[in-house]
Structure 1
Amino acid sequence: MAKNIASDEWAKTGAGPSAYVFDAYGTLFDVHAAVRRHAEAIGQDAQAFSDLWRVKQLEYTWVTSLMGQYRDFSLLTEDALDFCLARFPAVDRDLKADLLEAYSKLDCFAEVPDVLSRLRASGAKIAILSNGTTAMLQEAVAAAGIGHLVDDIFSVDALRIYKTAPAAYALVTSTYRIAAPDIAFQSSNRWDIAGAKAFGFNCHWINRSGAPEEYIDLPPDMVFSSLAGLVEA
């Protein structure tokens, strides 16, 4: 396991999670909701369009980080959308503004409010750790009506490097002064779980799509089909 660069000085308590930290896009918020709202206008390629938008968005985060460069997540989201519009020329380019607006106000998954409320009642901190900018995340949280259930929002924009860089996960440990194993991290993205596991978090993979296992040297601690598994286990 990779050395935890931020929390070695804080002793593990072993008393259960002191904080529940959630990835945002795909975990709390449905990344396909934006295209779904305009599926009729996009046409028969709507799902393929949405899938590619997500793939290119993530690809751009990794490529820019590996180059030692940075463009914030809102810009990369727009760049990825431009690529999709070029890849699917039958889709009306005038939809671009509507799609970006819809992406800023994604639907949260149905179980999210109840799960966050029940976990928060345990006394644990509830936080978001995301590649999204602070402004994007604040808008998404407000639109979903879950602001009262989230204690803190951590954005990699402060670092100008994307997950899975260890420094991204260290934003949480350095702020909370909690050892990594005492933090429960939830993500629907298997690559994100791998990065968080390498950092030392207690990881729950929210495998909504039934995807096959990968990164087998960095396994999640538990796998759930939705966030409801956190309160049903």
Structure 2
Amino acid sequence: MPITTCIFDAYGTLFDVAAAARQAADEPENAALRPHWQALASHWRLKQLQYSWLRAITGAHTDFWQVTGEGLDWALEAVGLAGDAVLRQRLLDLYWQLQAYPEVPAMLRALKGAGLETAILSNGSPDMLDGAVRSAGLGDVLDDVLSVESVGIFKPDRRVYDLVGQRFGCPPEAVLFVSSNGWDAAAAAGYGFRTAWVNRAGEPVDRLPWTPDHILSDLTGIPELAGV
């Protein structure tokens, strides 16, 4: 069956989640962050994901913005900057303006030019995702932005992946699902999507019951995988 619909995770897949810490570290007033920004970005992202999993497992759902703030608080403490309220607010403000990876606009235009449907499926709350899409100028190359908030649980719960078929009326095998999270791509493969893991960091494959169909170093090969 040909691919009709390309679905993308947002954070770390289309949007560079390290961009907020990197940009803040370049600002003169945040000199204290400069030696630590890479560690902070790594801690922040890891805790953001861990807290989403723990909330899904325990049934303690909240929106992704709260999880993002809580992850940042842990990361700031871990690098010795927990008392800097101004820096904390600056990092949170920048998270609403994350940069898209350089290849993203052309890749999405190629998919849309070929008549495929495109959308985001993300843990992000609707207002967060709207801000990121607008900041990156991607609104005209996405058919929809789907948030877990409509089902009240984070990935990789199957109810999140169900949103794609409900929105686009397509069977799972007609979907190419793309994520920078190996666990997300694996779970989506188990759901029945065709999947691509964007493994920018060259990490090992997660030891899970399922594996992604394709592993890429960036998003430039997505149109080819989709049959464009």
> Which residue pairs with 2:62 in the alignment?
71
> Which residue pairs with 2:125 in the alignment?
133
Q: Would you say 1:35 and 2:21 are equivalent positions?
A: yes
CA root-mean-square deviation: 1.2
1:199 to 168, 191, 204: 191
1:84 to 43, 67, 75: 75
Tell me the distance in 1 between the aligned counterparts of 2:10 and 2:213: 19
Q: For structure 1, which segment, 208-217 or 161-170, has the greater mean C-alpha deviation from structure 2 after superposition?
A: 208-217
Aligned positions of 1:1-233 closer than 5 A = 14=1, 16-40=2-26, 41=30, 42-90=33-81, 92-215=84-207, 217-232=209-224
Secondary structure in 2 aligned to 1:204? strand
Offset of residue 93 of structure 1: 3.1
Larger relative contact order (CA 8 Å, sep ≥ 6): 1
* Contact residue 39 and residue 79 of structure 2 kept, 8 A: no
Deviations 1:137-158 (A, max 9, x none): 1110000011100000100011
Tell me the distance in 1 between the aligned counterparts of 2:179 and 2:185: 6
Offset of residue 82 of structure 1: 1.2
* Contact residue 186 and residue 206 of structure 1 kept, 8 A: yes
Tell me the distance in 1 between the aligned counterparts of 2:189 and 2:223: 21
* Contact residue 194 and residue 215 of structure 1 kept, 8 A: no
Tell me the distance in 2 between the aligned counterparts of 1:90 and 1:74: 20
> Which residue pairs with 1:11 in the alignment?
none
Offset of residue 217 of structure 1: 3.3
Q: Which amino acid aligns with 1:53?
A: W
Tell me the distance in 2 between the aligned counterparts of 1:223 and 1:194: 11
Tell me the distance in 1 between the aligned counterparts of 2:210 and 2:90: 39
Deviations 1:60-83 (A, max 9, x none): 100011001111000110111111
* Contact residue 15 and residue 98 of structure 2 kept, 8 A: yes
Offset of residue 232 of structure 1: 4.8
Tell me the distance in 1 between the aligned counterparts of 2:124 and 2:201: 22
| Higher relative helix content | 2
Q: Which amino acid aligns with 2:199?
A: N
Structure 2: segments with no counterpart, 5+ residues: none
Question: Normalization by structure 2: what TM-score?
Answer: 0.93
Tell me the distance in 1 between the aligned counterparts of 2:63 and 2:81: 28
> Which residue pairs with 1:8 in the alignment?
none
Q: Which amino acid aligns with 2:11?
A: Y
* Contact residue 184 and residue 204 of structure 1 kept, 8 A: yes
Secondary structure in 1 aligned to 2:215? strand
Tell me the distance in 2 between the aligned counterparts of 1:160 and 1:172: 15
